[in-house]
Amino acid sequence: EVHFSLKPEDKLNKVKAVSREGGGGLIMVGDGINDAPALAAATVGIVLAQRASATAVAVADVLLLQDNLCVVPFCIAKARQTTSLVKQSVALALTCIVFAALPSVLGFLPLWLTVFFSMKEEPFSFA
């Protein structure tokens, strides 16, 4: 939905109403002029940096350096890719931890040795 020519309090009320109705996430894109309350109330606030007020920049989640709305779908796609990568990394890390700890739990290795092998940095590095 696109809404324009709204007063700051109307923007905030519209963001709250759409958030209540939709139940999902809400992205608000604004130029930063009187948008700060609505940007803060949205799930994701995107502000256009060239005309943005300092308050809008402070409360926004995403800051577009160019005043070009065509990059918003690109930002959404990159956010989804990043979320997917983080989930994969966490799953891989938990899997590695389980497989590293399994010999210790079964009694094949002492616990201190498992912890020693799972450390990412060398504990005795002097360089």
Q: Which amino acid is at 16?
A: K
The whole-number pLDDT of residue 47 equals 92
Tokens of 45: 């606030």
The predicted model gives 42-55 an average pLDDT of 88
Average pLDDT over residues 16-29: 84
For the chain, the C-alpha Rg in angstroms (whole number) is 23
Average pLDDT over residues 43-58: 88
What contacts 102, CB < 8 A, 6 or more positions away? none
Average pLDDT over residues 64-80: 90
Residue 49 has a CB neighbour count (10 Å cut-off) of 16
Q: Is the dihedral of CA 43, 47, 52, 57 positive or negative?
A: positive
**pLDDT-derived band at 10, boundaries 50, 70, 90:** very high
| Packing angle, helices 111-118 and 72-105, rounded to 10 | 150
Residue 8 above 70 pLDDT? yes
